[in-house]
Structure 1
Amino acid sequence: MESWITAIGSLVLVGITAWYAVLTRRLAISARESAASAERTAQIAADALAASVAGLDIEFGVYPNWRANEKGDGHALGVSVISTGAAVFVHGAHIDELWLLEGDEREDGYSSALEVSDHALVLDEDFALNTDGVALPVRLHRGEGVHFVTQPEADIEVSKIAQLEVSVSYSLSPGGEQLVRRSTYDFQDE
């Protein structure tokens, strides 16, 4: 009789184990389907975000400015970067090219010469328009600006600048992926 009880008990255990295996398999299939669904949802969200970012109006105005240089015997070229579009975090700026006017204006326009290329800009901590304690990255809303100075200082008369091309590094969040937007100042547009 004991052997019957043992056999029946073993059969019950085999049945429970089989049922557990079936349930585990169903859970695994459901987990795989949930993961695939979450992956599709994440891809859709990423595509929607990319479309939203692509639709943002992110533009900058760049304008030359100057202040007395550190020696006090000339002018240090500075660049003001003004957000003319969506709110962004500016991480830095860099002069790509600066062209100076040459001679008098001609009938066909003006002539200019490349004066500066590939020149570093740093946050101008002494410029009165920068808020005290401003640090990069700085959040700019439409119409707000941040001011940089050439490093090393470039002694250039602002009224002689024909064209200024500046690369502005920005992101949509303080620690977000940095993107670069190139902006141009042309004295004829002023």
Structure 2
Amino acid sequence: LVWFAIYTKAKMYLKKAGTFILAASVLIWFASSYPIQEETKEVYESKMEQVLNEEEKEKLAFALEESLIENSYLGMTGKLIEPVFAPLNFDWRMSVALLSGLAAKEVVISTMGVLYSLGGEVDEESENLMQVIKRAIPLQTAIAFILFVMIYNPCLAATVVFGKEAGGFKYIVFLFVMTTICAYIVAWIGSMLASAILN
């Protein structure tokens, strides 16, 4: 009986959210993969062929990945919204990470790994990513970023289910707007308090 209830709930959840999750995943993949940058790929591949050291090749591969995403539609959008996050001191990389996190918040970490030239195979326990973030992001900005990620729009699946249960698309828009505004305010307050304490 318990397993049947779990199966039924899981089936309903997938039916409600599955199509939208797939659509969003495709959209984020498209935005991060296009436009095609053949010239950039050729330049980096040529450099990699000339390098014998495997470590240097790996660094070039990460740099290629970073360059491709920086000049993708997703990277362009991140740079476009960067001024909105200027009061929180978020750069375009952090803006892009927030955009990718709309699909699923765990994607924020792997996106930052790519954008800081460490590759996408990183998680919250990655020592290299921790060191890079410590050097690149001031503590008060990191606090603001964590607060923002915690509060802004939940993962896409939860958002879609919320919208369907609440009664339509307008509730999804309401959820997105309200959580974003709240996240922004709390992140700004957190940044100000951290700056006051640290200074």
Fold shared per TM-score above 0.5: no
TM-score (norm 2): 0.23
Structure showing the higher strand proportion among its residues: 1
Larger Rg: 1
TM-score (norm 1): 0.23
